[in-house]
A and B are shown apart, each in its own frame.
Chain A
Amino acid sequence: MSDSCAAPDQDAALPASVDIEKETVLTGTVVNDEGELVQGAYVRLLDGSGEFTAEVVTGEGGQFRFFAAPGKWTLRALSRYGDATGEVEASRGLNETKLAVSR
């Protein structure tokens, strides 16, 4: 468990202390126009009212992950290949989304 507010390694496996039955995890990958995984994309989580909640940077696998709560969320990706926005209706457990960025 990190004791700061910065983003943990996004490619790492879920920590053993995370109970997937209880947590609501929003995860997925960022891809570019060519369908390639994008490392170094900035992915932010916005709540139901569009308010910023958190931001992570994708690792080598183009992966991102947030610990949130059930409900409506917006994912917003910025990268050197362009931007993307995705809507998620999250429920308890793993919620997966693919974000395709383009100019």
Chain B
Amino acid sequence: MAREDVLVTADWAEENLDTPGVVFVEVDEDTSAYDSGHIRGAIKIDWKDDLQDPVRRDFVNQEQFSQLLSERGISNDDTVVLYGGNNNWFAAYAYWYFKLYGHEDVKLLDGGRKKWELDAREVTTEVPERKPTQYTAKPLNWDLRAKRDEVEAAIGAKNLIDVRSPDEYAGRLLAPAHLPQEQSQRAGHIPTALSVPWSKAANEDGTFKSEDELRELYVNEAGLDEGKATIAYCRIGERSSHTWFALRELLGYSDVKNYDGSWTEYGSLVGVPIALGDEPGTK
């Protein structure tokens, strides 16, 4: 897989705003961002309201995903270009869904909303109308998603990559530093997990680093074993989607899963091992 197969530049996006069969989708947690201005022609998907099951702690299933994309006017053969705020966290999370449900042609806009805004490119508040479609999602591809038992079994056996900040990894903080520190689950990390904060995979303007820089980061600096399968996790699974994208889609490792239960699940499980401090710890 080449970089241009999975990432588009802001210049490419600007040239293809009116290309038939190309659908721009903004994915955010805070949909007021879309409402205040978005890329012309882009539709929005709400990270929580559209992509999470309203009752159970799980994300939308195959039928719900088919229904969502049908309502939004996306076809199975469209080229979907995703972008969003937070350095594309939620766009990468949605990208992972599109792959989980077997969409053929999906890409991320490199740098997302941030790069677009810093470049002072045009935005609009006009909401496009798209005709509903008959979208058919494929069954969920479990090769891309890790569940808790598999994660516990991976301790000391597979690469585990913790993409949270160093303080969250060590157990000094329970949440990222822009949120109040008031949660109750246990702090720390999964033993043997390597600490590679998601932010190391991105440049300051939100674009992904080059493949050479990424390989240097994960293999040479962090010690990722290229001969083993990899599971990435964070707190709720969206920052780790960003890293999953870097590892599987940009570097081309075939067996990379995202653990969307992440620390909010693992750090609340009874009886599982936890490591504290800056070192990975042992099995």
Contacts and interface: CB of A to CB of B under 8 A. Distances in A.
B238 A5 contact: yes
> Taking each of B89, B173, B176, which has the highest tally of chain A beta carbons within 10 Å of its own beta carbon?
B176
Interface string B193-208: 0000101100011000
Contact of A54 (B89, B172, B177, B234): B177
B87 interface: yes
A79 B148 CA distance: 40
A57 B165 contact: no
A45 B178 contact: yes
B171 to A, nearest CB: 13
Contact of A80 (B118, B165, B238): B118
B118 A51 contact: no
Interface stretch (A28-36, A63-71, A92-100): A63-71
A5 B236 CA distance: 8
Interface in A1-58: 1-9, 15, 17-18, 23, 40, 42, 44-45, 47, 51-57
- Chain B contact residues, majority secondary structure: loop
Interface residues of A, number: 34
A52 B165 contact: yes
A55 B85 CA distance: 11
Interface string B156-180: 0000000001110000110111111
Contact of A55 (B173, B178, B235): B178
A67 B182 CA distance: 11
Nearest to B48: A4
B95 to A, nearest CB: 16
Interface of A: 1-9, 15, 17-18, 23, 40, 42, 44-45, 47, 51-57, 65-69, 76, 78-80
Interface of B: 28-30, 47-48, 85-87, 89-90, 114, 117-120, 165-167, 172-173, 175-182, 197, 199-200, 204-205, 234-236, 238-239
